[in-house]
Homo-oligomer: A and B are copies of this chain.
Amino acid sequence: MKNIFFTPGPSGLYFTVEQHLKEALRSNIPSISHRSKDYVKMQQETCEALQELLQLPDNFTIGFTSSATEIWDRMSENLIANYSLHFVNGDFSKKFHSAVASHGKNAEARITEAGTHHNLATVEIDKEVELIGLAQNETSTGAAMPVEDINLLRSKYPDPLLAVDAVSSLPIPEFDFHQLDSLYFSVQKSFGLPAGLGVWTFNERCIEKAEKLKSEGKYHDSYNSILKIAKMAKKHQTTCTPNVMNIYLLGKVVQDMLRKGIGQIRQEATYKSAVLYHLFESHPKLTSFVTEKKFRSQTVGVAQVQGGSEKLIEALAKKGLNIGSGYGQFKNQHIRIASFPTHSKEQIEMLVDEINQLDF
């Protein structure tokens, strides 16, 4: 039996990727120069498909990096002169905070318990904060922030740049891109691609901030700095030789998603996550780690396992069903199950049936 990966990234490949890979080889995608007309056309098609899927306004640039980790660095380097604020509720939101701090900036971590999220309706933010970082979907704990809460934060504090980590949730949440400035994801999560590509979209406010820092001599001029990315993106190119294959595959997968319909994909996500959380609520040995329903991720379900998670993970792996262990300190206590667009309703139902039948 072929293995199925429900791990929260890298996960199973989107079900059309293998076919697109074959077509890429037939079309010599790995051999085209990233400065050629064929490449430019390809990157443009990928970006246009993404724009359509995400309903990205025209004032947003799409840039490519090697990973989301790189994007934390690029923001740390050139979008913050002094102060940033990070809503930390797990390891990934913490890592963005650490990245900014390691660049010698004053990064404040506003920490809340893992498995929950901040109450953005009541937070107070200092005037000096230049950038707010938050993980819309904390892959480490399965805590997600409703898009409405992000919009509320923005309406209260419109001045700081708002940077949203959607690494493992896009394209499921329906973001309002007029309420945020910078958003990023990795392709090996919900988009079901091989790892090695980060996608960063940012608006003109980010560009203006970077230009201001540059004029003040506070700009770190790397090969992949935001202004260079933006300049090349206008020509549908990258600053250096990119992961051409993944940019091609991303375009093809997004086109497939558009054909299926984002509405359909989001409906299925709602159904699949309901099936998962029903399991967590009904199984005697499982408890949803995120207790407050409004904070439950639709793409990464996390449960505490009575007696530890290892036995369950191993038993499922023997059946070719790979789920994730807990992250960091929760490694042996939690399971993490991805329900990404590549995971069909039937696969999630089958996984739930297997867990219900297992003795662990």
Chain A residues with a Cβ under 8 A of chain B: 3, 5, 7, 10-13, 17-18, 21, 25, 28-34, 65-70, 72-73, 77, 99, 102-104, 186, 188, 193-197, 220-224, 239-246, 322
Q: Are A222 and B34 in contact (CB under 8 A)?
A: no
**Which applies to chain A's interface (DSSP): helix, strand, loop or mixed?**
loop
Expressed in whole angstroms, the Cα–Cα distance for A188 and B33 within the complex equals: 10
Q: Are B67 and A195 in contact (CB under 8 A)?
A: no
Distance from A36 Cβ to chain B, minimum over Cβ atoms (Å): 9
Given contacts A18-B25, A30-B195, 20 further A-B contacts (CB under 8 A): A7-B31, A10-B30, A10-B33, A11-B31, A13-B30, A13-B31, A21-B25, A29-B194, A30-B194, A66-B70, A68-B241, A69-B223, A69-B241, A70-B240, A73-B222, A102-B221, A194-B243, A194-B245, A196-B242, A196-B244
Q: Are B7 and A33 in contact (CB under 8 A)?
A: yes
Which 9 residue pairs are nearest across A and B when measured between Cβ atoms? A196-B243, A66-B66, A69-B240, A30-B194, A5-B31, A194-B245, A102-B221, A67-B240, A195-B241
Distance from A39 Cβ to chain B, minimum over Cβ atoms (Å): 10
Distance from A216 Cβ to chain B, minimum over Cβ atoms (Å): 14
Q: Which residue of B lies closest to A29 (CB)?
A: B194
Q: Are B25 and A10 in contact (CB under 8 A)?
A: no
